[in-house]
Amino acid sequence: MTLPPQAGDAMRRNLAEHLDWQFAERNDAAVAQALHAGAPIDDVRTLDEAVLVEGFLAFLRHSGVLAHWQTFTLDAVRRLFLPALTCVLLYGLRVLCGIPSTNALSSLLFSNAALMLLLGFTGEQVAQGLTRRGASLRTAASEYALLDPQTLAHTICKASALALMTLFNGSIHCLAVFGVFMAEAMVAVDGTRIVTPPTFGGCGCLKVEERRRDRQGADVVVVKLLFGWRLIALLDLLTLIPLAIRIVQIQEHEAPYLVELVKQAQANLAPYSRIVRLVVDRAYVDGAALHELHTLGITFVVIAKAGMVAREVALAEQADSPLCERREVRRHGQGRDAWTETLVSQVRVVRGLRHWAAYRPPVVPGPRLTWEQRPTLNAVVVNLWRNQAPDPLEGPRVYLTNGPVDDPWLTVDGYDDRSWIENGLFRNSKQFWTLTRWFPQRTAAGVHSHLTFVVLVQAVATAYRLWSKAQAGVQPTPPPSLIAAVEQRVLDATTGAVLTPVTALPPHPTHLASPVALPPAAATASHPAELAAADPRPPAATTVAHPTELAAADPRPPAATTVAHPTELAAADPRPPAATTVAHPTELAAADPRPPAATTVAHLTELAAADPRPPAATPHVLVHSLLGGQGTLRWRRQLVRDSRDQVLVLIGRQYGIFDLHELLVLVGVPLRYLPPHLGSAVDILRRYGCAADP
């Protein structure tokens, strides 16, 4: 007899009635008050990896990602004894904590009571398991906790490709809504091979040739067959967060998926951010695809292949253009052994190239495009790169772009930033996020599920780390560099005369070689509450400024919304402009006798009430340099080290995280030595905002 799959509501009711499953909620104040009042403790656990998971779960709730994950469905699973969200979190925690294999889940994850308590499981469920089915077959040879690891593996692998892509794309959109990305994004696209044994079902096959030397020293060509898949990703270069991914067989070419990836990333970011610049390598030299990106308003940079007519023309016509030179002073050594080296780079610019026949609009019936109707490209030819001349066999590098080349170094530095997708995403995910190892199943579904979850958790974890740094008040600072000074100038190619004065460049504010204009701290004070905090003048009870003065001081353009711009206030105010000081914003609210009205002429109190953003004391700009070069492994180790003296206390469905000495003081255990900064139980309760009396 075939039974229909359980509906979502019926499944949730069944879980609520039989398992009483829900997330534990952190409430330090309530738990501290209960401890001081003598309430019984349900469980106490050390934190270890739980400190990582606790902050990660809090960020998921705060950013709205967790709410999106709750919409994840497993249509191929007939009956679930746990919500699909729990399966997502359990497998996500495996990736986040770097657990090596599925068989290690019982000993390293499922038996970690502190982690499981955060997810809503009870201590009895962790020790005895969620079900008695198969209990008679369990032996002491393998540890069992919570559930069989293969159950999680089989469940995750039943997720459809559409459900996985919806999960990933929706999570990136939640991060965009949360404000993780800047309004204009610079991205890079590249792919990496996911090599597997040929026994994996559904894998592709790629033939590659390698040049080696045999025992006699002769050069030979060895043909190898690689089996597996190819992961193509589009990366935001400022945050190093992937915005869109595509998984194909290993033999497939990457170029046909370029436009699809860009459009998907644009959809994930809209309307809070948009892609304006794109850098790709030779694998994406596809004229039709790049022209379509041009019609989307995206400036691209691509390196030309050998044999392209456009490249040969650029090399032939570069002699007529001036020589752009950059001098970089690099530091070497330390102390008495310190010395400097001057690195010289030289490039030339060629404009108006129409020689790439494939770079054109789609072919339509009718007359062919004339020479003047062909779209144009600009080229930057690198004749010298940091004292190294081009290879005589390959020749100079030629970068093609549809953007302006008035400053050719923007094009060169933009392509140089493309290396971050290889080092910051692929290499990092392979070394520390188990991208190419320990798949849940040896099938195409297992590989697709694992790759999606690894890239998804890496993206959200990176956003969480950047957000944590911003909340702690860390400001974007120039990363340490061996380059002490940079100067640029333009020379006449024939005479060597300096055509433009030497320009000294400031250090880069981010990890990118491309200049990024970060908004200053004062520019972010657009919330009404922030204006009052940012104004150094004390509020005056006498002078009330005319709204035209506010319009002169407000940098925002007028908006046709109910929250009026100061120019609208000026139009509605019959008073003539007064030549007095521009009043503090708190003076308007105090001096204006009108009640707030739902009209286009807004009262100042309406601005604060209508603005949904919380006042921010620091600029909300997230760049990867906020991490200070700290990698994933060092981040995990630091969290574990910082939480050695902390414990998780569970009372009911609420938990709190306390210092071990705080816990002992709150429960009334006498201590011979007490750290002086803790104080008495009353002082601890006050720090948590609790009343001294229980």
Provide mean pLDDT across the span 647-675. Answer: 86
Q: Work out the pLDDT band at 264, boundaries 50, 70, 90.
A: very high
For residue 310, what pLDDT is reported? 95
Q: Which of 417, 418, 404 is nearest to 515 (CA)?
A: 417
- Specify the pLDDT at position 247: 97
Q: What is the DSSP string of 471-524?
A: HTTPPP-PPP-SEEEEEEEEE-TTT--B-S--EEEPPPSSSSSS---PPPGGGG
In the chain, pLDDT over 70 holds for what percent of residues?
A: 80
Residue 548 lies in a domain: yes
Per-residue confidence at 23, pLDDT binned at 50, 70, 90?
A: low
Instruction: Indicate whether 308 belongs to any domain.
Output: no
Over residues 269-280, the mean pLDDT reads 96
In the block, which residue shows the tokens 């609210």?
Answer: 589
561 has a pLDDT exceeding 50: no
- Across residues 184-194, what is the average pLDDT? 96
Residue 541 lies in a domain: yes
10 Å CB burial of residue 636 (0-12, 13-18, 19+) is middle
The type of residue at 338 is A
How many alpha carbons lie under 13 Å from residue 538 in its C-beta half-sphere?
Answer: 3
Cβ–Cβ < 8 Å for 533, 525: yes
Range with the poorest average pLDDT among 450-464, 484-498, 500-514, 658-672: 500-514
Per-residue model confidence (pLDDT) at position 76: 86
244: β partners: 234
Whole-number pLDDT of residue 522: 37
531 part of a folded domain: yes
Q: pLDDT-based confidence at 283, cuts 50/70/90?
A: very high
**CB–CB of 276/300 below 8 Å?**
no
User: Which of the four pLDDT bands, split at 50, 70 and 90, describes residue 616?
Assistant: very low
Average pLDDT in the 178-193 region?
A: 95
552 CB neighbour count, 10 Å cutoff: 12
Over the stretch 352-372, which tens digit does the pLDDT of each residue have?
A: 999 999 999 988 888 888 899
Per the model's pLDDT, the better-predicted residue between 610 and 71 turns out to be: 71
> Per the domain annotation, does 538 fall within a domain?
yes
User: Would you say residue 139 has pLDDT above 80?
Assistant: no
Regarding pTM above 0.85, the answer is: no
pLDDT attached to residue 19: 38
Q: Looking at residue 557, what is its pLDDT? A: 52
pLDDT tens for residues 375-431? 999 999 999 999 999 999 899 999 999 999 999 999 999 999 999 999 889 999 998
Give me the domain span that covers residue 542. 527-610
What's the confidence (pLDDT) of residue 243?
97
Q: Average the pLDDT over 144-161 and give the result.
A: 89
Q: Is residue 205 one of the residues assigned to a domain? A: no
Q: According to the 3-state scheme, what is the secondary structure of 35-49?
A: HHCCCCCCEEEECCC
Residue length, the chain? 694
Q: What is the mean pLDDT of residues 147-153?
A: 88
Q: What is the pLDDT of residue 91?
A: 93
Q: Give the chain's mean pLDDT.
A: 81
Q: How many domains does the chain have?
A: 1
Q: Which tokens go with 340?
A: 């400097």
Both tokens assigned to 473 = 């008040």
- At residue 672, the pLDDT reads 81
Indicate the pLDDT class of residue 54, thresholds 50, 70 and 90: confident
Asked if residues 467 and 622 have their Cβ atoms less than 8 Å apart, the reply is yes
- Domain membership flag for residue 582: yes
Give the amino acid at 39. A
Taking residues 515-525, report their average pLDDT: 57
Residue 38 in domain: no
